[in-house]
Amino acid sequence: MMRLTDLLHPHLDGVTAVIDATTGGGLNLAPYLHLPDGVALRAAGESPVEAGELVLLSYGPDPALHGTEADCLAVLERMRPGGRGLIVFGHPAPELPYHRLLDALVTRRCQVLRAVPLDYAHLRAGAVFARTDELLPPHDWFGRPVPSEGLPTALRTASEYVLADLVSRSLRARVLDLEKEVEEAEHGGAGVRQDGLADRLAVAVREREQLASALRGARERVDVLQARVAMLEGSTSLRVGRALVAAARSPGRGTARLPRELYGMWRGRAKSRPQPTGRSAPGTALPQVLDGRFHLAHRALSSAPRDRLVVAGVLTDRTAEDFAADAVVNRLLPHDGRLLVRRTDPDAVVVQLSACTGDGPWSPAGTGLAPDLDRQLAEILTEARALGRAAVLWRDAPAAGAPGLTQFAWDAVLDTDTGVRLSCLDPERCGRDGLREAFLRDSTRVRLAELARRVGGVDPLAERRVAVLAAPGDRDEVARLVGQVLGQIHRPAEVVVPRPAGGVLDELTGAGVTVREGRPTAPWVADWTDLSVDRPDTLLLDLMCAQEYSGADAVGHTVADDDYLFVPVLTPLLVRRSLHLAGAPPEDWLGLGYRLFAVHGKESS
């Protein structure tokens, strides 16, 4: 992916004016260009595009935003030898309808020099062309002309076209094969659904039996309550109360009879006192209180809005511990799994294949050796489906280890390992490149993000969002800020400015970065108000790697260039939002209980 300025600037040699012919639509490309001194930007008129001029065009699926095809063709009619153009497309590169403009380009003697995908939400690709009377040398990926002319240029162009067509035809054939596999899978899924009628009938029978069992339990509890009522009615306290109430209602006769009644109750209480051995008299049975409920201990219940992924799963010990760092995890056991799913209402019920093939309470479920475990697992999945929650098979081991799991109906299947926590890695052994690779592709948080995407849960990667604080002044600072933000491998989620940007940062908005005023909303804050500092493209990536490894509240560097160490004081480069809003000076952070972690200054500044 590339920025518009990276596509445009290599072709500005000899250009003195850029003509914006996109103003008829809803685009405003001025903030994207960052033109150098000596190159003026002006609106398009009806005059021809001469040598030393470059015209901006747009074409896309939304005529109100990108303009129309007729607008582009009208501008191409005004191209003169030596004139150049840049056309931006709203279509994704694989869906680019270039054939609608190709004939017009050839007719007007225009040669496409370079075409690349663009990294914006509404501008997906771009191409630079030139009006010429002779074949021009093509450009490489970096925008440099390939040193060839005449026949070698024609041969290179023709050969590259044939080879590129070979690659594209292979890709198209692969896409057709995948579409056919998807269609067959859908037909197979329909057959599975037909075959699943018997399974659903069996589930209905089991549910009927469970309801009958619950009814029997209710009747038993009614019998217990009746026995309790009989005990209360025969109790001395109730009889004394009744005698006192009767005496109060009839003071004359009742008061005279009250002492004899109380004496009789006392004599009867002494006779009915239980034996000292604690055993009941022959022929009598003491009432027993029955309670068939399970009493569970878990940590998933919360009255606050759900801001973390909630997983109920058949998991190994290590996976449950790793997932618990970024999600709420409840491990299901055979005796309480169904009840736990109902009580915790998880985002997903996850069954890890390796938890069924190793040691643990679910071994050997799915192997055919433990029918009771398979039945209990089926009941758990039925409960999840009844609650509208996704059932996910995490296939992190060969499926042959538990072939019976494939017989269940899964809403999603993840064929990957469960990732690794960065805190479990050794920075010296892995190195910065190893930590970056784990952070971007192999961490537990990335795996959970894929699970959240499949089931519609809270994305754990939202905890990696960074807000950049900046206050650009002149045009050069704006261009520097945009270049540093969009150049980051771990791109910031938002840029916070102290005053209205006035459209000068529209390129950030077009690239998906929020530009706003006020206080930052992302979990992490980086202060970039000093735009004279050179910031490498790995800056935020290395800082977030260090934070996720350490769990610190602030990450930065020290005068001594400490690397991957907890320190008492540092120059902050990345700060937790709550710490930033607290307003305390960095020298007081350690005394307030915040954790400070240092990374090497040369790697981060």
* Alpha carbon distance 115, 129 (integer Å): 9
Q: What angle do CA 539, 541, 544 make, to 5 degrees?
A: 110
- Residue 55 β-bridge partners: 19, 85
Mean pLDDT over residues 355-367, rounded? 90
Contact between 259 and 266 (Cβ < 8 Å): no
- Closest by Cα among 107, 153, 96 to 131: 107
Say which residue, 399 or 323, is predicted with more confidence: 323
Q: What pLDDT sits at residue 251?
A: 67
Q: What pLDDT sits at residue 293?
A: 47
- Closest by Cα among 73, 122, 82, 123 to 100: 73
Instruction: Tell me the pLDDT band of 141, cut-offs 50, 70 and 90.
Output: low
- Closest by Cα among 527, 526, 523, 504 to 515: 504
- Closest by Cα among 310, 292, 287 to 457: 310
pLDDT averaged over every residue in the chain: 84
Instruction: Indicate yes or no: pTM above 0.85.
Output: no
Instruction: Tell me the pLDDT band of 97, cut-offs 50, 70 and 90.
Output: confident
* Alpha carbon distance 200, 210 (integer Å): 15
Residue 193 predicted with pLDDT over 80: no
pLDDT in tens, 519-536: 999 999 999 999 999 999
* Alpha carbon distance 366, 356 (integer Å): 7
Lowest mean pLDDT among 222-231, 355-364, 403-412: 222-231
pLDDT in tens, 524-568: 999 999 999 999 999 999 999 999 999 999 999 999 989 999 999
Residue 454 predicted with pLDDT over 80: yes
| Residue indicated by tokens 């300025």 | 5
The structural architecture, per CATH, of the domain 4-133 is 3-Layer(aba) Sandwich (3.40)
Q: Are strands 110-117 and 53-59 parallel, antiparallel or unpaired?
A: unpaired
The structural architecture, per CATH, of the domain 309-433 is 3-Layer(aba) Sandwich (3.40)
Q: What pLDDT sits at residue 98?
A: 85
Other Cβ atoms within 10 Å of 463 Cβ, number: 17
Residue 430 predicted with pLDDT over 70: yes
Mean pLDDT over residues 29-49, rounded? 92
Asked if the domains 4-133 and 460-604 are classified in one and the same CATH topology, the answer is no
Residue 242 predicted with pLDDT over 80: no
Instruction: Tell me the pLDDT band of 188, cut-offs 50, 70 and 90.
Output: low
Cα distances (angstroms) measured from residue 327 to each of 311, 457, 551: 7, 10, 15
- Residue 87 β-bridge partners: 57, 127
φ and ψ at residue 413, rounded to 5 degrees: -130, 125
Tokens, residue 171: 């890709």
Give domain limits for the chain: 4-133, 184-250, 309-433, 460-604
Eight-state DSSP code of residue 142: T
CATH superfamily of 460-604: Spore Coat Polysaccharide Biosynthesis Protein SpsA; Chain A (3.90.550.10)
Burial of 331 (0-12, 13-18, 19+ CB in 10 A): buried
Residue 185 predicted with pLDDT over 80: no
- Residue 558 β-bridge partners: none
φ and ψ at residue 531, rounded to 5 degrees: -85, 5
φ and ψ at residue 543, rounded to 5 degrees: -65, -45
- Residue 516 β-bridge partners: 496
Residue 281 predicted with pLDDT over 50: no
Contact between 65 and 26 (Cβ < 8 Å): yes
Mapping DSSP onto H, E and C, the string for 364-398 reads CCCCCCCHHHHHHHHHHHHHHHHCCCEEEEECCCC
* Alpha carbon distance 478, 476 (integer Å): 5
- Closest by Cα among 21, 128, 5 to 68: 21
CB within 8 A of 327, min separation 6: which ones?
A: 308, 309, 310, 311, 448, 460
Say which residue, 232 or 586, is predicted with more confidence: 586
Tokens, residue 308: 């973390």
